[in-house]
Structures are given as C-alpha cells and as structure tokens.
Amino acid sequence: MIRVRIIALAVVATSLAAAGCKPATGGATTAHPPIALPSDPTMARIPLGAPPGAPLALATTTANPYEGDAVAVSDGKALFGAMNCVYCHGGAGAGLIGPPLDAHGWRYGGAPAQIYNSIHDGRPQGMPAWGKSLPPDQIWKLVAYIESLGGATAPATAKMSDMAQGQPSTTGPQAADQDQTDTAHQALIAGNKSDGG
Amino acid sequence: MAAPPPSSPAWPLGYLTTFGPRADPATTLTWGLMDISIAVVVIVTALVAVGMLVKRARTPNGDLPPVSRGGAGLTWIYIGVALTVIVLIGSMIWTVQVLAEINSPATKPAFTIEITGHQWWWEARYLSPQPDQDFTTANELHIPVGQPVLIKVMSADVIHSFWIPALTGKTDTIPGRVNLGWMQANRAGIYRGQCTEYCGEEHAKMALFAIAQPPAAFEAWREGQVAPAPAATDPEAVMGAALFNDHCGACHTVRGSNAGGLVGPDLTHIASRQTIASGILPNTPAALGGWISDPQTIKPGAKMPATNLSGPQLNAVVAYLGSLK
C-alpha cells in the first residue's frame, strides 16, 4: 500500500511540476498573464516632439506596461531577431542600414511611447509599419528590450533636452549577455561593415 | 533614322536615335541645329583663312602698300548680320515649334502611369478608369506600340529625374509635386531609361526599361499584372513563400499573399521582369540569389538588408520568386 501511495504521490507531484513549469518553458511571448496596455487613442495622441525644454506630457506619462520586466526584455530580444529588426538595426541595436537604437539622438522621440509608435506606424526612409503584424503587447516587449539597450529616454524625466544629452534607462543593461544568435548577427554585421568599407 | 530599335536590356542608353513622336522632333531639331552650327564654324573658319592667306600686292620696289579702306567694307557687315539674324530667328521658330509639338500628344493618351522615384528604384502604378484594374510594378514599364501614354512623375524622397531618351525627354521628380509628361513608342523594343539627376550614392544604379509591345501583347501583360500572384505549388516554392512572408514581407508586397510591405518594390510578378535591383542585374536565379544574400555589396546604401538565410532557405526563396510569373 505504501508503494502505491508513493507512486500516486509521484504522479501528482510530476504533473504539478509540469504545470508549474509550463509558463517558463512556453513560447517566447507567452510567459505573461494578461496586462493592461495603453489604449489606441492614447497612443495616437503621443507627439513626436515638443519645443526645447517643454515636457512631453503624454509621451512621458505613458509608461511601458512592461517597465522593468526582465522576462519582457528577453521576449523582446527574441522578437528583435525573429521580426528581422536585427538586419537593419544591427545586433543589440548597434545600427546598420537603420539608425542605432542603443545611443541617443532619436529622430522620432526616445520615450517608450514614442518608440512604440515608431514601431507601430513605421517611419519614413525604410522603417515598415508593424502594427498589422504584431499585437500591441509584443510591440511593448520590443520597446522594453530597446529600453534595456540604454538609449531610450527614461519616461519620468523625458524632455527634449534629455533626448539630446541622454539619461540612462532605469531598466539598465540587463540584456548585455550575448546568446548564440546574437553573436551570429554580430559576425554578420562585422562582415558587412568590412565589405562595405 | 533607319537604325533598329533596341531589342534587349543589354543595349546601352541611346539618345541619338529615337523611336516616338515625343522624342523624334527634338532629335531632328538637335541634328538640325548641330548642322547649322557646323556650317557656321566652317564658313567663319574659311573666311578667316582667306583673310590670312590672300596677300596685298607689293609695290614695284618690294614694299607693302599702306592699308586703304574701300567703301564696300560696311556692306559685308550688313550681309553678315542679316544672315546671322535670319538663321537665329529661323532656329528659334523651329525650336518653339518643336516645343509646342512635343508638349502634348496628338491623340488622347491611352492611360496614365504614375512613376515614383525612390532611392534607388522606380515604382510604376498603372491607373485605369476602373480602380480594381490598377496595379503597381517596378523598374519595368510596358507600353502599347503606337499609343501615347500619360506619365505622372513623382518622388518618394529626393529629386530624381525620369529619362527614357529614345521615347521622352527628362522630367524631374520633385518631392511634393506631380510633373506631367507623355511618351509613345512607334516600334516595339526595349528602351533603357536612367535616373538623370544625382540622387545619392546609388544614383548610377537606378535604371528602368520601357518595353513597347504590340497592343494585344501589352493587354495580355496588363491582365497578368493585375492578377494576384499564383499560389506556390512546388514544395520548395511553398517553403520559400513562408520564408518570404517571414523575412521579406514587411518591406515587399506580393499581392495574394500576406506580404504587404510598402518600403520596397512590389514583387507580385517579379519573374515576369527582365532585370532585378533596378536594372543592374539580369533576372536569373543566380543573380537573384546573390542579390538576396548580399544586397549591400552589390548596391551599398540601398535599404535592403542582408538576411542570414541558410543555403536551402535561399534556394527556396529564389524558387518562390521564380514562380511569381
């Protein structure tokens, strides 16, 4: 009888463990429970910029719902490769055909909400609009990853003057460790740079 | 003007022989004004030579006599000025006549093509009275022989200039403006065109072709272009279609698939085109594979990035694009 009980217990424990593991071993962007995202009308009102010194009211009060979320950052990093961002913006956002994302000097604003809009709507001279192919939560995860590269403007302090000088993101460089795909991308980019002169 | 029209994309850009009613009068004018200019140079040179070589007769003791002015000198000035004025006014009248003649076609244009210059390729949108018959293609215009076609020339970024010298003059593409022109080919042929306003580092690699076809062949081409892309059937092309959707669809459109990007050229019927990458490579599987695997070496600065497709993946994408007839 004891033996049967032990086997039953083991079965229960294994299935529980499997259930517990499921979120962690799932797909790249399934780790999160539903989360409240800023509404579309809010995002549509976010300005690209403001007069020097003036606070970017809506852009700065609209924070990334995944602010400081390490899982979202790694999900965003996976998306950055999967959605081909890396081919134009370079490994770790170092810049290639598209502008770098790890340094300051944003043409269309560096606050998280502005980065969101640049991904969602696209920008002139080559940036496609991703709003049709990526749901909002995945775009926010991409924004979380881009913020982790250190170039984004911290939402609480964003002013035009900050955009010029730069404030390190509060999320910090969590994703500094390179995985294998990233190394491959870096090699690709290094090759391109030497070819192109 | 009995030269045959160009019959392959490999023919060089030619502007000394033309093949349409918009370009022909200008070519005739060019040759005519050149003939007049040559005649002027020959006559003036001859008169100067005569003046240098004809010597005054010496006096019996061997001295040159003093220069004396006869009464007839001023007459030659009058004759010279009169001839010049007549020829110049004649040239001006001829020029103005040609400008008026090529300003608009003799008959109503068959249809309109909106041509948009991009860094560094040409987008062409064929307009129709029925909106569902509109379609977009790139870098290769087909036109029916013997029919004038209206062209609306625009720019997506900087100033380019649209020029197919055998058929039409240069028309600048100005950002924010629509410039109008027209062209007509009198004989079937493949007429090379080129951006002719410096527009950035790949300006030289921004060619296009106007392919003039008999009206029936043109109509068949048009109907083929309006249709969405055929679904891939070959297993390799099916795999290529999925890869294209994942890696290329954000920038390129293939009508009838999920790929709907607006950044690069419409590739719905790329296999029907003779060249790729704006006329710089022949449309062969080898050239296509090379272009996709490393566009930045072939055309540095172009907006197309290299994707790290594996060999079999690259073959599949090339097979898929080859199926887009």
Q: Which structure tokens are listed for A184?
A: 């491959």
Judge contact between B209 and B183, C-beta under 8 A: no
What residues contact residue B97 under an 8 Å CB cut-off, 6+ apart? Answer: none
* pLDDT of res. B223: 93
Mean pLDDT value of segment B154-161: 95
pTM of the model: 0.77
Q: How many CA atoms lie within 13 A of B177 on its CB side?
A: 10
High-pLDDT (> 70) share of chain B, %: 99
Domain end residue (candidates: B205, B226, B247): B226
d(CA B274, CA B142) in angstroms, rounded, equals 12
* pLDDT of res. B116: 96
Max Cα distance, chain A (Å) = 79
Q: How many domains does chain B have?
A: 3
Does a structural domain hold residue B19?
no
Question: Please, what are the domains in chain A?
Answer: 62-192 (1.10.760.10)
Question: pLDDT-derived band of residue A178, with 50, 70 and 90 as boundaries?
Answer: very low
Interfacial residues of B (vs A; Cβ cutoff 8 Å): 157, 246-247, 249-251, 260-263, 294, 296-297, 300, 303-308
d(CA B234, CA B44) in angstroms, rounded, equals 73
pLDDT of A41-87, one tens digit each?
Answer: 778 777 776 555 555 566 667 788 888 888 999 999 999 988 889 98
Q: Which of A94, A89, A143, A91 is nearest to A117 (CA)?
A: A143
Q: Is B80 in the same domain as B179? A: no
Q: Which structure tokens are listed for A160?
A: 């035009």
Query: Is the pLDDT reported for residue B37 higher than 70?
Result: yes
Judge contact between B160 and B117, C-beta under 8 A: yes
Report how far Cα B94 is from the mean position of its chain's Cα atoms: 25
Q: Select the highest-mean-pLDDT range: A25-34, A40-49, B229-238.
A: B229-238
d(CA B104, CA B248) in angstroms, rounded, equals 41
Q: Is B29 in the same domain as B117? A: no
Does a structural domain hold residue B59?
no
- Please tell me the least confidently modeled range out of A168-177, B64-73, B231-240: A168-177
Query: Is the pLDDT reported for residue A177 higher than 50?
Result: no
Does a structural domain hold residue B12?
no
Q: Which structure tokens are listed for A189?
A: 């980019």
Strand B281-282 with B275-276, pairing? antiparallel
CB atoms within 10 A of CB B214: 12
The number of C-beta contacts closer than 8 angstroms across A and B is 46
Query: Is the pLDDT reported for residue A154 higher than 70?
Result: no
Q: Which structure tokens are listed for B100?
A: 């008026």
Average pLDDT, chain B: 91
d(CA A171, CA A178) in angstroms, rounded, equals 17
* pLDDT of res. A162: 42
pLDDT of B270-305, one tens digit each?
Answer: 999 999 999 999 999 999 999 999 999 999 999 999
Residue A141 contacts B, CB cutoff 8 Å: no
Query: Is the pLDDT reported for residue B101 higher than 70?
Result: yes
Q: Is B116 helix (H, G, I), strand (E, B) or coil?
A: strand
Q: Is A173 helix (H, G, I), strand (E, B) or coil?
A: coil
Domain end residue (candidates: B197, B226, B255): B226
High-pLDDT (> 90) share of chain B, %: 76
* pLDDT of res. A153: 72
Q: Is B139 in the same domain as B189? A: yes
Question: For residue A126, which residues of chain B lie inside 8 Å, CB to CB?
Answer: 251, 263, 303
Query: Is the pLDDT reported for residue B179 higher than 80?
Result: yes
Question: pLDDT-derived band of residue B39, with 50, 70 and 90 as boundaries?
Answer: very high
Query: Is the pLDDT reported for residue B168 higher than 70?
Result: yes
Phi, psi angle pair for B215, to nearest 5°: -50, -35
Question: For residue B263, which residues of chain A lie inside 8 Å, CB to CB?
Answer: 126-128
Alpha-carbon Rg for chain A, nearest whole angstrom, is: 20
Question: pLDDT-derived band of residue A5, with 50, 70 and 90 as boundaries?
Answer: low
Judge contact between B139 and B275, C-beta under 8 A: yes
Question: pLDDT-derived band of residue B311, with 50, 70 and 90 as boundaries?
Answer: very high
Q: Which of B137, B165, B102 is nearest to B275 (CA)?
A: B137
Query: Helical H runs in chain A?
Result: 2-25, 40-44, 57-61, 70-82, 85-89, 112-121, 136-148, 160-165, 180-196
Q: Is B133 in the same domain as B194? A: yes
Phi, psi angle pair for B194, to nearest 5°: -160, 145
Question: Do the Cβ atoms of A88 and B305 come within 8 Å?
Answer: yes
Q: Is B222 in the same domain as B117? A: yes
Q: Is B200 in the same domain as B265? A: no
Q: Is B156 in the same domain as B198? A: yes
Range of the domain at B94: 24-51+73-103
d(CA A62, CA A155) in angstroms, rounded, equals 8
Domain end residue (candidates: B162, B196, B226): B226
* pLDDT of res. A50: 57
* pLDDT of res. A195: 40
Q: Is A186 exposed, middle or buried (0-12, 13-18, 19+ CB in 10 A)?
A: middle
Mutate to test the interface with A, among B251, B293, B299, B309 (most CBs of A within 10 A): B251
Mean pLDDT value of segment B306-323: 92
What residues contact residue B134 under an 8 Å CB cut-off, 6+ apart? Answer: B125, B126, B127, B128
Distance from CA of B169 to the nearest CA of A (A): 28
Does a structural domain hold residue B16?
no
* pLDDT of res. B252: 93
Cα angle, residue B273 at apex, residues B268 and B275 outer, rounded to 5°: 125
Mean pLDDT value of segment B134-156: 95
Q: If you measure CA to CA, which chain A residue comes closest to B250?
A: A128
Question: pLDDT-derived band of residue B29, with 50, 70 and 90 as boundaries?
Answer: very high
Query: Is the pLDDT reported for residue B126 higher than 90?
Result: yes
Does a structural domain hold residue B191?
yes
